[in-house]
Structure 1
Amino acid sequence: MRPNPNKPMKSTILGLATLLCCSCYGQQWMTRNGNVDFFSATFAENIEAKNEMASGILATDGQFAFRVPILGFRFEKALMEEHFNENYLESTKFPNGSFEGSIVNWNMELNDGAWHEVVARGELTIHGIAIPREIPSKIQWNGEAWQIQSEFLIATADHEIPIPKMVRKKIAEEISVEVNLSLSPR
C-alpha cells in the first residue's frame, strides 16, 4: 500500500518542531545550505546531481532532522533534471527527502577538533517511503560549527522509485550519495 504523499512532509515538519521544542533549553546547530550529491554509475551512462539546499538541525543530545528539497538537485543536462523530477522522484508529489534520528553514542566530548567516526541512526524518507537506516558518518567540531560528512548507497527499489525498462541500463540500482554539512550555532 502506497503511503500518503503528504505524510513525509508532515512528519518532517513535526520532527523538526519536536526537536526544536524539546531542545529549546540546550544549544542547537543548524544549516540551510548543506551539500548533498549523488552519482549513478553504469556502463551506459553516468548521472550526477548536486544540491546545495539541504537544511537541518542538530541538538545537544545528538538528535537530528535533515530535509533536502528534491527540486534543488541540479544536473549537467536539463532533460535529466526534468526526468528525475517528473518520472522518478515525482517531486510534485514528494517534494522532500528527509533523515531524522540520532547519532549513536553521541556526547559533547566529540568537540575536541578531531574527526570522529559515528553512526547516524534514523528514518530515511525518499519518494514517500521511510526506511530505517544506520549511516556511517564523520563529525568534527572546528571551533565554530559541526562538520558532518557521509557517503552511503541508496537502493532505488527500497524507495519504490520507478525505473522504466528501456532506461534500466542507464540508471544504477544503487545510487551513491555524498553529504557535506556545516551546522552553525542557532
Structure 2
Amino acid sequence: MPLAFYAQKYSTRTGTVKFEASVASFEEVAAENKSASAIVNAANGDMAVLALMKGFRFKVALMEEHFNENYAETSKYPKATFKGKIANFKVDSLTATPSEFTITGQLTLHGTTKQITSKAKISKSGNTITITGNFSVKPSDFDIEIPSVVSKKIAETIVISYNFSLN
C-alpha cells in the first residue's frame, strides 16, 4: 500500500487588505478589510486569497456607500480573488526574520483578471507564517470608471497592501 503525503496548508480568515487612493489636499480615500481569507500550500508555494468587497471599511460612511454602489459595484462583483504562487518558497527555510519573496498571480476584481507581481516579506514564528507586502493597480485596468467630477480626488494608481498571519 503506497504512503500518501499531504501538503501542509496554512490559512487565515482574518487577513487584512487595505487600499490607499488618496490625493494630497483632498479627503482621504482609503479602506481596510480585516476578514480576507488566504491559504498557502507549504509544499509548492501556491497561494489563494479571497476578500469580500463589502468588507472594506472607510472612515466616511458616504464614501463607503459610493464605493459599494458606484465604483466596485459590489452587488454585481461581490468578491476580489487572487490565485498565484510564491517563487522559491520553502517553508523549512523561513525564520522569524522576514525574507523577501516574489508573488505572481492573477487578481480578479470587478469582473476583470490581471497579472499581478508583488514583493512580499515572509517570516515564520512557531506555527504561524506572516506574509506582508503591497502592489499597485489602476482602476481603469479593472474597468472601474471614476467620474470626472471626483477624478481629481482619487489617485490614478491605487496601492493595495496586505498582511496575513496563517496557521
TM-score (structure 1 length as normaliser) = 0.83
Alpha-carbon contact 2:134-2:162 (below 8 Å) kept: yes
1:144 paired to 2:127: yes
Instruction: Mark the runs of 5 or more structure 1 residues left unpaired by the alignment.
Output: 1-23
TM-score, normalised to structure 2, is 0.92
Q: Tell me whether 1:39 sits opposite 2:39 in the alignment.
A: no
More displaced 10-residue stretch of structure 1: 101-110 or 146-155: 101-110
Counterpart pick for 2:79 among 92, 96, 100 = 96
- List gaps (5 residues or longer) in structure 2: none
Question: CA offsets, 1:95-141, max 9 Å, x none?
Answer: 11111011011122332322110011100111111001111111001
- Please identify runs of 4+ aligned residues in structure 1 that moved more than 6 A: none
Q: Return the alpha-carbon distance in structure 1 between the equivalents of residues 115 and 134 of structure 2.
A: 16
Tell me whether 39-48 or 138-147 shows the greater mean CA deviation. 39-48
Name the counterpart of 1:64: 47
Kept in 2, the 8 Å contact 1:45–1:171? The answer is no
The count of aligned residue pairs is: 161
Letter in 2 for 1:57: I
Q: Equivalent residue of 2:144, what SS?
A: coil
Contact 2:117–2:135 under 8 Å retained in 1: no
Contact 2:54 2:74 in 1 (8 A): yes
The answer for the alignment partner of 1:115 in structure 2 is 98
More helix by share: 1
Q: Does 1:159 align with 2:159?
A: no
- Distance (Å, rounded) in 2 between the aligned partners of 1:134 and 1:42: 24
